[in-house]
Chains A and B, each alone.
Chain A
Amino acid sequence: EDQVTQSPEALRLQEGESSSLNCSYTVSGLRGLFWYRQDPGKGPEFLFTLYSAGEEKEKERLKATLTKKESFLHITAPKPEDSATYLCAVQARNGGATNKLIFGTGTLLAVQP
Chain B
Amino acid sequence: NAGVTQTPKFQVLKTGQSMTLQCAQDMNHEYMSWYRQDPGMGLRLIHYSVGAGITDQGEVPNGYNVSRSTTEDFPLRLLSAAPSQTSVYFCASREREKTHGYNSPLHFGNGTRLTVT
Contacts and interface: CB of A to CB of B under 8 A. Distances in A.
Contacts of A41: 110-111
Interface in A21-73: 31-32, 34, 36, 41-46, 49, 51
Interface string B43-63: 111001010000010000000
B93 to A, nearest CB: 11
A43 B4 contact: yes
Interface stretch (B12-20, B65-73, B100-108): B100-108
B105 A46 contact: yes
A46 B107 contact: yes
B90 A43 contact: yes
A45 B102 contact: no
Contact of A91 (B44, B50, B103): B103
Interface string B34-45: 000000111111
B75 interface: no
Contacts of A101: 45, 103, 106
Contacts of A91: 102-103
B102 A42 contact: no
A4 B42 contact: yes
A98 B111 contact: no
Given A43-B90, A43-B111, A103 B106 contact: no
B41 A31 contact: no
B37 to A, nearest CB: 9
B26 interface: no
B110 A42 contact: yes
A59 to B, nearest CB: 13
Interface of A: 4, 31-32, 34, 36, 41-46, 49, 51, 87, 89, 91, 93, 97-99, 101-106
22 contacts: A4-B42, A31-B103, A32-B103, A34-B106, A41-B110, A42-B111, A43-B110, A44-B106, A44-B108, A45-B108, A51-B102, A97-B50, A97-B56, A98-B31, A98-B56, A98-B97, A99-B103, A101-B103, A102-B42, A103-B43, A103-B44, A104-B42
